[in-house]
Structure 1
Amino acid sequence: MQRLGARGDAAVTGETAMIDRRTILGASAAMAVTGAAAGVARATPLQRTTLQWPTREHFKLWPGGAPGAPATLPVPKRDGPEDGRELWMRGVAEPTVSVYRPAKPNGIGVLSIPGGGYSFVSVENEGAGVARVLNPLGYTVFVLTYRLPGEGWSQRADVPLQDAQRAMRLIRARAGSLGIDPAKLGILGFSAGGHLAASLTVGHADPVYTAVDAADRGDARPAFSGLVYPVTALTYDDKLNGSGRNLVGDVADPAILARYDTVARVTAQTPPIFLLHAADDGLVPLEMGLSMLTAARAAKVPVEGHFYEKGGHGFGMAADPAHPAHGWGALFATWVARHMAT
């Protein structure tokens, strides 16, 4: 696996690391103990999930209800893979942010945005799993459970971005009590959650909802943006992809497709970007990640890419030591720490 920096030059991973890779590998090995202490249930293919959602410490995004609500709200539903190894959420009527606090906070916050093709939210694999890895390194992790566009909300294409913007503004408004520096709040998105993270990265100021309180005067711009096997556009080979159909419906307005083509909207003002993808991803083509890398380089946006020959899709933090991307959290944590130190 080769690391590509903003100039495209190959580098040896870890030469300038501020966080030793062994730290994260040790944290991964001790995951069950750390997770239990933080109230995070460990899930493996050999046992069914016991994760409760939302977590004990969480907050709702919208007082009085989310914008564009249908006459009949979606009914919350917990499900997941057939073997029950992890939790997915559907029927999100009240979007929330779940809070995972580290024992020794470093002042940096990460809003984790799980994927699910905009048809469910993978809150365990790509939410709680993020906290298991990053909490031991001092990062405060916030997991967004966002509304799903196909569940009756008006302005369906904007619904996830409404929740992501609102989450960033509320976290910043409460930064003092949450133990983070509001200037050091970034995001980490996976798959369709990677599309939402990319949409927030380039569209953090898009006027997608009417302000509801003083928090909405705050900034939703992430200080850094991690995109893991991300969907970066709603079409591929000139056809709507699965996430695209779920976000906009079967008939797409060209203006909406253009607004959510995140690669095309990268500018010199875009926050630093971290990319991670497997070449054998059978759901989201590697070209999605590569196109974002190319756009960032062209706009002179700081960008770092990690691309694996094998790994597939949906591996989250790659907790399994046998997975090719195991330990990639160290790469992300080192990259974040480097950018937040400047």
Structure 2
Amino acid sequence: MSGDPPRRELHLRGVAEPVVGVYRPARPDGRALLAIPGGGYQFVSVENEGMNVAQTFNPLGITVFVLGYRLPGEGWLNPQDVPLQDGQRAMRLIRVRAAEFGVRPEAVGAVGFSAGGLLAASLAVAFMDPVYDRVDAADEVLARPAFVGLVYPVISGDMMRIGTQAAARFDTERRVRSFTPPIFIAHALDDPVVPAAQPMGMLAACQMARVPVEAHFFQEGGHGFGPKYLSPDLPGANWPQLFDRWSQRTLTASRNP
């Protein structure tokens, strides 16, 4: 995983304080997504895997919150926990302020891309981990996403240069349990960065734990087929529509168990 963005696009480094950009649809349906960009934990790809995610999902009625998170290699105490700290806190704040943004607290999901997929998967399996001290009453709120999308995701922490012991904690497929939220996976079999075996391991773990899971493995697509670079010629070009319909079914099922 390169430390440099593969294409010319807006990205972040040196995030001193996490930031959440809010993108509101003209006709909200109550669903919300915490969009978590990738970047190999070397930068944050806020355009392709953030702002363009909002442009794709806003017309479908989904309010999108783009997370600009701190990076482990930039001098933080307990650096391996820094992205998860920011992810948990963002989920809690979105829920606490749900009425302000016109979203249903029980309909707040997450979608992560590449290294952001590792953070999204970590939210799914480690939402109860006490990785930061309580800040305010918002930290009493559950950080568990209602549903989680993993798009060309890193699943195993050993790819992320966060140390051997920390990497074991973030082998997310090993931490899947029955209370893990429903998972959606989109991945290309020809991905040169993240082997398809990683998300396949997550699929198997979800099936073993009886966690609802939908997975799409496309013959072609490479790595980085976020909304900015989707080509209609790619087999996985319709993954946003697949994810949209899946999230609707998932939320309906949760209301009618």
Give the corresponding residue for 1:65. none
Give the corresponding residue for 1:326. 237
Q: With structure 1 as the length reference, what TM-score do the two structures score?
A: 0.71
* Equivalent-residue separation in structure 2 for 1:284 and 1:230 (angstroms): 7
Give the corresponding residue for 1:314. 224
Give the corresponding residue for 2:208. 298
* Equivalent-residue separation in structure 2 for 1:177 and 1:233 (angstroms): 36
Give the corresponding residue for 1:285. 195
Q: 8 Å contact 2:5–2:39 — kept in the other structure? A: no
Gaps of 5+ in 2: none
* Equivalent-residue separation in structure 2 for 1:315 and 1:332 (angstroms): 14
* Equivalent-residue separation in structure 2 for 1:328 and 1:226 (angstroms): 10
* Equivalent-residue separation in structure 1 for 2:51 and 2:65 (angstroms): 9
Q: 8 Å contact 1:266–1:295 — kept in the other structure? A: yes
* Equivalent-residue separation in structure 2 for 1:80 and 1:124 (angstroms): 11
Q: 8 Å contact 2:157–2:169 — kept in the other structure? A: no
Residues 338, 262 of structure 1: alpha-carbon distance in 2 compared, 3 angstrom cutoff: same
Q: 8 Å contact 1:109–1:142 — kept in the other structure? A: yes
* Equivalent-residue separation in structure 1 for 2:21 and 2:221 (angstroms): 28
- Identity level (%): 58
Count matched residues.
249
Deviation at 1:102, TM superposition (A): 0.4
Deviation at 1:258, TM superposition (A): 2.5
* Equivalent-residue separation in structure 2 for 1:134 and 1:285 (angstroms): 27
Give the corresponding residue for 1:199. 122
- Residue correspondence of structure 1 range 36-185 to structure 2 within 5 A: 80-81=5-6, 84=8, 86-185=9-108
* Equivalent-residue separation in structure 2 for 1:292 and 1:80 (angstroms): 26
Deviation at 1:326, TM superposition (A): 1.3
* Equivalent-residue separation in structure 2 for 1:231 and 1:128 (angstroms): 21
Q: 8 Å contact 2:25–2:62 — kept in the other structure? A: yes
Residues 266, 164 of structure 1: alpha-carbon distance in 2 compared, 3 angstrom cutoff: same
Give the corresponding residue for 1:335. 246
CA RMSD of aligned residues (A): 1.2
Give the corresponding residue for 2:180. 270
Residues 81, 231 of structure 1: alpha-carbon distance in 2 compared, 3 angstrom cutoff: closer
* Equivalent-residue separation in structure 2 for 1:339 and 1:277 (angstroms): 20
Specify the code of the residue in structure 2 equivalent to 1:149.
Answer: P
- Classify the secondary structure of the residue corresponding to 2:12: strand
Deviation at 1:311, TM superposition (A): 0.4
Specify the code of the residue in structure 1 equivalent to 2:231.
Answer: D
Specify the code of the residue in structure 1 equivalent to 2:176.
Answer: V
* Equivalent-residue separation in structure 2 for 1:230 and 1:306 (angstroms): 12
* Equivalent-residue separation in structure 1 for 2:176 and 2:251 (angstroms): 21
Specify the code of the residue in structure 1 equivalent to 2:98.
Answer: A
Residues 80, 284 of structure 1: alpha-carbon distance in 2 compared, 3 angstrom cutoff: closer
Deviation at 1:81, TM superposition (A): 4.8
- Classify the secondary structure of the residue corresponding to 1:88: coil
Mark the structure with the bigger radius of gyration.
1
Deviation at 1:172, TM superposition (A): 0.5
- Classify the secondary structure of the residue corresponding to 2:193: coil
Specify the code of the residue in structure 2 equivalent to 1:119.
Answer: Q
Deviation at 1:80, TM superposition (A): 4.8
Runs (4+) off by over 6 Å: none
- Classify the secondary structure of the residue corresponding to 1:112: strand
- Classify the secondary structure of the residue corresponding to 1:341: helix
